Amino acid sequence: MVEPPILPLIVKNASVRRGRKVLIGPVTLTLAPTGLTVIMGPNGAGKSTLLRLLHGMERVSGGSIHWQVSEPEARKRQSFVFQTPIMMRRKAIDNVAYPLLVHGVDRRLARQKAIDWLDRVGLSDSADKQAPVLSGGERQKLALARALIRDPDILFLDEPCANLDGRATRELEDLVLAAYENGTRIVMATHDIGQARRLARDVLFIYRGKVHEAALAPLFFSDPQTREARAFVRGDIVE
């Protein structure tokens, strides 16, 4: 049976507050069924909070977020990769298999799929190593494999390369692009302009908790519309 699509995601005037402080919002945007959206902005702009809001890890304080299916169903069909990969105190293979196991997949099948994914991300030799002892790059690739193993409709990535060296960053970007080309909707936060230029198909520029600009990537980088975005693209410090 073909599952109904969960996208587009329609966000209307959504905001997140902590007490009286507004962390982000009001935000209005639409995520199309396909694409690779990069959320950009300076540190503290609200990129991570927006990602967490879209993923359902932050409660909406105001406004609405509307998937094309029920929220519990939408939650099942999306994944998240954190800036600092969270490694369970298990072997690498068990980390990757975990999302399948909690959703009722047979243990043998889950491990087989985990082996396949470890192979895809180049970690098949580390399958039996304890995940937390892997290097930073390996951990992030493992986290990506764990996020992709359930074949999500949409994948959120929160600055996944922030702590990685050049080679690990390149490897991770290739994996993200492969997932995108495989049909997974990608939404990724970064403040690395070079990375955004390499990956983005469209850009959301966030500043002080609000979407300042939403544009196709070539247009955004060649002709940013707001003063803050222009400064950011130039590489100036944007506070």
Q: Which residues bind another protein (CB under 8 A)?
A: 55, 57, 75-76, 79-80, 82, 86, 88-90, 98-99, 102-103, 129-130, 132-133
- Cβ at position 131, least distance to another protein in Å: 10
DSSP 3-state assignment of 224? coil
For another protein, the closer of residues 158 and 228 by Cβ is 158
For another protein, the closer of residues 55 and 113 by Cβ is 55
* Backbone angles phi and psi of 127, in degrees to 5: -55, -40
Angle 212-221-163 from CA coordinates, rounded to 5°: 85
- Cβ at position 205, least distance to another protein in Å: 25
What CA–CA distance (Å, rounded) separates 178 from 188? Answer: 14
For another protein, the closer of residues 21 and 89 by Cβ is 89
- Cβ at position 130, least distance to another protein in Å: 4
Closest alpha carbon to 157 in 196, 103, 100, 213? 196
- Cβ at position 142, least distance to another protein in Å: 12
What CA–CA distance (Å, rounded) separates 56 from 65? Answer: 9
For another protein, the closer of residues 158 and 213 by Cβ is 158
CB-CB contact of 205 with 226 (8 Å): yes
